[in-house]
Each structure stands twice: as C-alpha cells, then as structure tokens.
Chain A
Amino acid sequence: MTINYLGSISADDLPATFTKFFLEPVSVGFPSPANDYLESPIDLNQYLIKNGAATFLVRVSGDSMLNANIADQAILIVDRSLKPKHGSIVVASLDGDFVCKRLQLKPRLCLLPENSKYQPIYIQHGQDLDIMGTVTAAINKFE
C-alpha cells in the first residue's frame, strides 16, 4: 500500500456531516458496517422519568397496593409536577406518614387501597391531606 500525503486538515474547517468520518480512528481491518447507525444504549431514566427536577423515588412498605401491581419494597417514581386527578395513584402525607394509595375525588375525598385486606381512608373535614406527587411507575424487583 502507498500513502500520498495530501496536506493536513482541521476538523473545525469541515461541515458537520464530514467531521464524524474524519475523526474515526483509522483501523487496518474492514470498518464496522454498524458505524453509520450508532445509537446510544437504551436508558431506563429516559423511559421512567419525564421531569427529573420534580421526580423523587419512594420505597413501598407493605402490600396495600398489590392489585395495582405495586408489591412490597417496590420503588415508586413520583412526579411532583403532575396534578393529581381522580383515579391517580399518589403518594400523600397522612398523620406524619407517607402512604401510597389511589386518589378518589368524587363522590367523597378518599384514599383507596388496592387490596381487599385494607379499608379505604376517608379524609374528614378539617383533616389535612398533603399530596406529595403522582406515581407514574412502580419498579418491582424479582431477584
């Protein structure tokens, strides 16, 4: 093989589409056919988290939401920026504890468990219900 020196080139002078080509390491073997199709690996954060600044993780303790596919020790993705709606699963503060329940706004304000072993929690007049955020996903780990 012979090499002809054609002069030097600076990557800065090139249009963006060429840059990639010239910056690739030059290897002797056949170039990987996948090079032009490189994509970044799948990122779970991207799938699970829409608004990072407003998203918090909460660990579940107990099985009161089992029928909503939220097992004991699951990790909840809680987004504070979403307005909780009727039927949303929320994390709320109740008498100093966080609880994860389904929010019912009508006919009566109440927090519903998803397990027949547990009773609905009715919010009395004058009782404070602080909703921390809406649960957008739950991660159950099996192993």
Chain B
Amino acid sequence: MKLLALVDCDNFYASCERVFRPDLKQTPVVVLSNNDGCVIARSKEAKSMGIKMGVPWFQVKKAYLARGGRVFSSNFALYGDLSKRVMNILEGMVKKIEVYSIDEAFLDLQHIQNSKQAYEFGIYCRSTVHQWVGIPVRIGIAPTKTLTKIASHVAKHTNGGTGVCCLSKQKHIAHILKTLPVNEVWGVGRNLSKQLNQLGTHSAYDLMKMDIGFIRKKFSVVLERTVRELRGEPCIQIQNHIEPKKQIVVSRSFRGKIEGLNALKPLISNFAVRAGEKLRHENQKCSQVSVFISTSRFGKQPQYRGFNSFRFSHPINDTRSILMGANTALDIAFQEGYAYAKAGILLSQFSCPTVIQKSLFETMNQLYALKQDENLMQSVDELNSHQTQIYYASQRPSSLLPIQKRMVSPRYTTNWLELPTAL
C-alpha cells in the first residue's frame, strides 16, 4: 500500500520562540499578530489556560500575564528561517515533498513497504527534526492526504503518545472516523458541515458512508474527492511545484483610529506601493485593484465596512497605475463619520507579464514608453530593496517606519548583531 505522511509542527511560532529560550520550556508562551493585535500562536500551556486562537490581546493580557504567561510579538525572520531548516531536513528524507505551509509538509513515503516501517520512519523523522532544529513535530501517516490530516489530529490529541499516528487498517480508520465530527474533516467548512448535519451526517464516518453519486449531484466534485479519500482512495496528489499566487493582499490594523479621507489616503497609498512591489516580485500583472476599509469590531462606535474595486482595461504592474486605481476605489468605498481601524489592498485577476496584450492602437512609441516604465519600476524596486529611499507623492513616509514591536525576540539566526550569546 502506498502511504503518505503529513508532518505538522506543534504550535509552530510558539515553539520557535522556545528554541533559543530553553528556560521557557514549561512556561506558557503566546505570539501576537503584526501590531500586537491578536493571539496567533499558543503553547500547550497557554492553550490549557483557556487562551483562544485569534483572541484580541487586550482582552486576555491582564489575566494571562498575572498567571505567569510570556508573550512575544511576531518574529517572522526567525520563524521563516526555522521553517526552512525543518523543510530542508524533510527534503533530505524522501524523494517527493509538498511544502504545504510554513509549518506543514506532505511527504510521499514511496520507499516504504508497510505500516510498521512507516511508523518507524515517523519516529525517526520526528526525533531528527527535534534534535537538529529543536522544533517538535507530529506526524500523521495514511494512504490519502485527507486521512493524514486525521492521523495528525489523532497524534496531537493522544496525550503522552509518540506524536506519530499511522492509520492504515480499515478497521482502525473506521473506528477513528466514528469519533470525529464531520467539521473536523479537511476541506469541510462550517457551512458545509451544517448542511451535512441536516442530512443526518454528523461524524466523518457518516460522510464516508454517503453515496458518491448523491454527493456529486447534491454538493460538488470537491466533496466527492474528500469522501473517496476518507475511503482510502488517493485523489489529491502531492504537488512538488509551487502554484503561482492568484492574489496579493496587503492589509494592516492601524495603531490609532483614522478618520477622514485625507488621513486614510496616504496609508492606502503605502499599502498600494507595497502590493506593487510584491506583484513585480512574483512576476505577475493584475487587472483589478480593490480597497477595503473597516471600523473596529470592538467597542461601541458605529460600524462600517467598505469595499470597492477598480478594473483596468489591460494587465498592469506599474505602481502608479495601482495608486490611481486604489485612490479611485477608495473614494467610492469611503464613508464620512467613522473611525477606521483597518484597511487593505487586494490585487487580483492575474496574468503572466511576458504575454504582452497589444492594444489595437498601440504604436511603436507607446511600446517604447512601456519598456521605459518597466525600467523605471525595476530601478525603484532595486533602490528600495534594502531601505525605502524613493516615495510616491501620495505616500506618508512617517507611517512606514518599522512597527514598534516591543516584545519581539532577537533574530537569532538571520542577523549578525542578534546572535544568541554564550558565557
């Protein structure tokens, strides 16, 4: 039987914070989002204190710190480097690997004959990653991707276990699926599980037993694949290559509340400029720029969410066009009289930049101008690659200063000045 493995780092960001702080081994650790807004990672100890994922930091801060918990601002330089190391080790162990996110990877265990060997491989893999990088991982092994997710879930919730779970025997799989609510199945969202519940499908086992034809007709081929995968039939392959991005989002919560169009515009411009850099870095062009703005979800002030898009006649990647589109969209999305707490830019409708769409009336001169624009953007990107030196007139440079993250840990592995020290 062909087996796959899902390697999943435990509470990844929180675990990263502990790699160079062995003294925090038993201490609750949480990591906050950009601008220290919400909790985005929790150690096991913080979870058992009742800190929920995504909770606004100010709501839990007092009680959490009073009980001895430690908090960190996010340190993505560190997390990114440690993630690369983990993936590097895994790449050395198997022929085919799909890095699924910063802390997850699917491995193809084609070199392994049976489930006993697969389990031993899991143990070896886990101890190697822990020894070499200091990050704890759990490993779910099964014949399909959907089942490896469930195996990983089992490995996580089995206390005192080995952190490795191999689901390969039909009887064992059926037993686990019976105890698993259908909304815990990979790819079954909240809405879908509501609909399924109404049909009397409550557990993953119920879902597996549903009629394939009925699923396809009543729901989708996507759910059909999920059902087949639950039955042990591989439908979702391991993908070696990275799919090009389909959209780019730049969004932030503001440090203070922002009122008035004139205060908002320079901030939106900052996002638009950053989005343009990302777009060109990805070698893409977009045909649509959208702007969203919203008030705070917390507090008693009146609430408003605005969203508007600007469409271009042809794909663009010039920051000046993005700025124009963003400003036009913002003018329509904006409503007077609200205190805005968050905003963002979304670029979408991508097409490959090497395909030049010639407009019917384009002359040689215009093509030459296009080439000049490209060169301009390239030069600006180069100049700004280390530190922003060139601003667009509509930007507000002062709000581009690095976010003050008072609780951020050193960049132990990526900065000479912040290396750990030993006495």
Chain A interface residues toward B at CB < 8 A: 51-54, 56-62, 64, 75-76, 80-81, 91, 93, 95-100, 130, 132
Chain B residue nearest to A92 in the complex (CB): B422
Known: A58-B420, A59-B422, A98-B423. A51 touches B22 (CB 8 A): no
Known: A54-B132, A96-B23, A132-B22. A61 touches B423 (CB 8 A): yes
Asked if B210 CB lies within 8 Å of chain A CBs, one says no
Known: A53-B85, A130-B22. A80 touches B422 (CB 8 A): no
Asked if A80 and B133 make an inter-chain contact with CB atoms under 8 angstroms apart, the answer reads yes
Chain B residue nearest to A61 in the complex (CB): B421
Known: A80-B132, A80-B134. A100 touches B88 (CB 8 A): no
Asked if A62 and B423 make an inter-chain contact with CB atoms under 8 angstroms apart, the answer reads yes
Chain B residue nearest to A52 in the complex (CB): B88
Asked if B419 CB lies within 8 Å of chain A CBs, one says yes
Contact string against A for B residues 411-423, beta-carbon threshold 8 Å, 1 for contact and 0 otherwise: 0110000011111
Asked if B387 CB lies within 8 Å of chain A CBs, one says no
Asked if A58 and B422 make an inter-chain contact with CB atoms under 8 angstroms apart, the answer reads yes
Q: What CA separation (Å) do A14 and B145 show in the bound complex? A: 42
Asked if B131 CB lies within 8 Å of chain A CBs, one says yes
Q: What CA separation (Å) do A76 and B421 show in the bound complex? A: 10
The residues of A that contact B423 with a CB separation of less than 8 Å are: 61-62, 64, 97-100
Asked if B53 CB lies within 8 Å of chain A CBs, one says no
Between A and B, 21 residue pairs with Cβ closer than 8 Å are A52-B85, A52-B88, A53-B88, A53-B89, A53-B92, A53-B132, A54-B89, A54-B133, A56-B412, A58-B422, A59-B421, A61-B422, A75-B419, A80-B131, A81-B131, A98-B420, A98-B421, A98-B423, A99-B422, A99-B423, A132-B134
Asked if B133 and A93 make an inter-chain contact with CB atoms under 8 angstroms apart, the answer reads no
Asked if A59 and B419 make an inter-chain contact with CB atoms under 8 angstroms apart, the answer reads yes
Chain B residue nearest to A93 in the complex (CB): B22
Least Cβ distance of B411 to chain A in Å? 12
The residues of B that contact A62 with a CB separation of less than 8 Å are: 423
Contact string against A for B residues 121-134, beta-carbon threshold 8 Å, 1 for contact and 0 otherwise: 00000001001111
Contact string against A for B residues 12-52, beta-carbon threshold 8 Å, 1 for contact and 0 otherwise: 00000000001101000000000000000000000000000
